Chains A and B, each alone.
Chain A
Amino acid sequence: MMTKSHIHKGAKSTYWGSISEGITSLLAGLLLTFKHLFQALRYKREPVGVENKDYFSFDKGIVTLQYPHEAIPVPDNGRYRLHNEIDDCIVCDLCAKICPVNCIEIDAIKSTEEIGKTSDGSTKRIYAGTFDIDMAKCCYCGLCTTVCPTECLTMTKTYDYSEFDVRNMVYHFTNLTPDQAEEKKKLYEEKQKEKSKPKSQETTKPSGTEDAKAEEKANIPKPAFKPVIKPPASTPESREDTNLKPEEMSGTIKSGETKPEEKKAAKPVFKPVIKAPTLNPKPEEESNVKPENKPATSESGEIKPEEKKALRPVFKPVIKPSVPKVSQSEEASNEQDRKQDATDEKKGSTDEPKSGEVKKPAKPIFKPVIKPKPKQEGEQGDQ
């Protein structure tokens, strides 16, 4: 035999033994495949989950699941795509903080009054100007869902949501449009101004009630005006700047983290000025709140370049030139009153953007005063 090895392989190492073994094994093979063929025509695996008691009893027939048309049900504790029921979200930022991969971006916009109630009765005081979850980064650890106080952030059973463009993996949960968010911000700025003014006026009353009243009338419109006017006025400039320096923008996005530092650095300049009055409690409360928000805003700053563009230019280059112009012209008239107010206003000014009013008092005070402004605007804008 040419192939002895072949013959010895068979159980019967003879010519006829090999042939008969070959025939029987071929028939056995055919029987097996025919069995599968006919079983496949009759039986089919049902798309049931592992919790079903029949799960392990499907041992014949077609095992394929035609996925888009049928799918094995997801277990109740499965961790897949996140969903935020934004109406129940109190924008506490806990989820963003605990997320190990920083894929939740929250831009909180404070509101002075209660916005509403969540379905579990918690009071909502903060708008979510941005609530983005980058599901491409998410590692599905589920920490954010466990930490959420109102349980509005949940894992859904949706697991098939791939995208051609990774940017589409960022899910926006906010219920505010960018315009609305901007509006809320301004609203809050105004409110803060209104709040702080009465304080300053109380202190200034002695100096001149008539003027104060006049100021009130004049100022009430003004604050409303100024914030409205300034951003637009500044934004064009800022846009020019941003157009000029796209690199900076991208750079600033990264450096957004460093900004809190800048702000912090600015504060020391502030506090010495602020110390004088004993009114601190309120400002401090407010200022205490802000630090919390700051990290969030800085984080969120990474995501929303548009907002930042508007804000940042206001920050660095725009502020100095614009401040002198506006403040000098307007405040020439108000200077007398302001001098007295200056110290008080500075406290308030930590929260408020009233650049002109605060700054005018004395030129020596100018520079230190100016810096706060940028912060304030920036902070408020970020909020």
Chain B
Amino acid sequence: MILIPVFLSIILVYTVFAVYAERKISGFIQDRYGPMEVGPYGILQTIADLIKLLIKEDIVPKSADRKLFIAAPAIVFSAIFAGYAVLPFAPGLEASRASVGVFYLLAIISLDVIGLLMAGWGSNNKFSLYGAIRAVAQMISYEVPLSLSVLAVVMTCQSLDLQEISYQQSLWIKDFSKISDNNYLFGIQSSDINITEVGGFLTWNIFRNPILMVSFVVFFIASLAECNRAPFDIPEAESELVAGFHTEYTGFRFAILFLGEYAIMLLVSFLASILFLGSWNSPFPNIGFLRLADWTNGYPGTISGIAWGAFWLISKAFSLIGLQMVIRWTYPRLRVDQLMFLCWKVLTPLALVVILISGFWRLMMN
């Protein structure tokens, strides 16, 4: 329960500064400054914008379906926020150590689609409806490669428990993992190179099972589509649909929808970090007497363990978000047919092949 306000405040603070970072990154990519006036280097710009947003009039269009319109932002945000319940924030620290965490997470994120459809349909506006339809089509489609790429990880780790997946990538696999005892280089037990004590990035899932690197790319692309981020932002394509499903939203409701968008960015980035990038573990391995992994990790359950864990997990997630932002300002939006081509003809087959290979790979692991 403690983690509810923690995650909520993290999301709020993160959203404020993610918007700022996004504007800065887009500025730098385009050889400009981005916000510079409010606060030093414009760092308070988003706060000013937020205050402006919150004091704006809350408009519900006359011809809108009032109930759907009002309920939609709440559903969108609560569906996404519920996903945070199973995130292992640090070793020994999670809101719920559900043994079906991954499954739950994918299921609850899917509820997001319902909220978006409600928002688009309830607005009684063709732009909103087009946006919502596109969003639904896109998100349902991309859930397939997304789930398949997650499935590869689940096969490798033999668990749906996110904390268990985290422990398997840590130095304390012996003590805390219920499934594995040792990590071998690239997961090949017959190589007899035991890296359990080395840790660092070598025990990340993408190195325990190198084929998961491909899976990670698939997951990352699919998660961009899941977040409606560019280049998969056709549900809210500004140049065609005004703002897509949230065209009619103003003030606080718009802020909630916006918060939901940034929250799901953060959620999928957390998920990618946990599943592929070693979760809350330090990227630094122990090399001989340089106990980098020991120095930058804390024993599960201790204060330092929680602090280091939270630090590494958040750092990884923020790096991925930064990558998402750079991608947004690099690539043009896909056409709908290109979107479906990519999903069904490239990513899904690829994810299936990865599953096949990682199944074989799993046989080589202990």
B49 within 8 A of A: no
B295 within 8 A of A: no
Question: Which residues of the other chain, A, contact B346 by a CB distance below 8 angstroms?
Answer: 19
B99 within 8 A of A: no
5 shortest interchain CB distances as A-B pairs = A40-B28, A33-B330, A64-B32, A33-B29, A37-B28
A66 within 8 A of B: yes
A6 within 8 A of B: yes
* Contact in complex: A34, B32 (CB < 8 Å): no
Residues 16-48 of chain A: 1 if any B CB is under 8 Å from the residue's CB, otherwise 0?
000100000010011011101101110000000
Question: Which residues of the other chain, A, contact B364 by a CB distance below 8 angstroms?
Answer: none
Question: Which residues of the other chain, B, contact A26 by a CB distance below 8 angstroms?
Answer: 331
For the complex, give the distance between the alpha carbons of A29 and B328 in Å.
11
* Contact in complex: A37, B32 (CB < 8 Å): no
* Most A C-beta atoms less than 10 A away, residue of B31, B327, B329, B341: B31
B27 within 8 A of A: yes
For the complex, give the distance between the alpha carbons of A19 and B217 in Å.
14
Residue ID in chain A nearest B338 by CB atoms: A6
Interface size in chain A (residues, C-beta < 8 A): 22
Residues 30-41 of chain B: 1 if any A CB is under 8 Å from the residue's CB, otherwise 0?
111100100000
A62 within 8 A of B: yes
* Contact in complex: B326, A37 (CB < 8 Å): yes
* Contact in complex: B338, A37 (CB < 8 Å): no
Interface size classification for chain B: 10 to 19
Shortest beta-carbon distance from A204 to chain B in Å: 78
B25 within 8 A of A: yes
Q: Is the interface of B mostly helix, strand, loop or mixed?
A: helix
* Contact in complex: A36, B28 (CB < 8 Å): yes
Shortest beta-carbon distance from B26 to chain A in Å: 10
* Contact in complex: B330, A30 (CB < 8 Å): yes
For the complex, give the distance between the alpha carbons of A37 and B329 in Å.
11
A136 within 8 A of B: no
Which of A2, A15, A62, A66 contacts B28, CB < 8 Å?
A62
Shortest beta-carbon distance from B119 to chain A in Å: 30
Residues 31-74 of chain A: 1 if any B CB is under 8 Å from the residue's CB, otherwise 0?
01110110111000000000000000000111110100000000
Question: Which residues of the other chain, B, contact A2 by a CB distance below 8 angstroms?
Answer: 337, 341
Shortest beta-carbon distance from A150 to chain B in Å: 44
Question: Which residues of the other chain, B, contact A177 by a CB distance below 8 angstroms?
Answer: none
Which of A15, A41, A60, A66 contacts B36, CB < 8 Å?
A66
* Contact in complex: B341, A6 (CB < 8 Å): yes
**Cβ < 8 Å to A, chain B residues 322-351:** 326-327, 329-331, 337-338, 341, 345-346
Q: A30-B327, A66-B36 are in contact. Are A37 and B29 (CB under 8 A)?
A: yes
* Contact in complex: B329, A33 (CB < 8 Å): yes
Question: Which residues of the other chain, A, contact B29 by a CB distance below 8 angstroms?
Answer: 33, 36-37, 40
Question: Which residues of the other chain, B, contact A63 by a CB distance below 8 angstroms?
Answer: 31-32
Question: Which residues of the other chain, B, contact A162 by a CB distance below 8 angstroms?
Answer: none
A3 within 8 A of B: yes
For the complex, give the distance between the alpha carbons of A229 and B118 in Å.
84
Question: Which residues of the other chain, A, contact B36 by a CB distance below 8 angstroms?
Answer: 66
Shortest beta-carbon distance from A2 to chain B in Å: 7
Question: Which residues of the other chain, B, contact A37 by a CB distance below 8 angstroms?
Answer: 25, 28-29, 326
Question: Which residues of the other chain, A, contact B329 by a CB distance below 8 angstroms?
Answer: 33
* Contact in complex: B31, A29 (CB < 8 Å): no
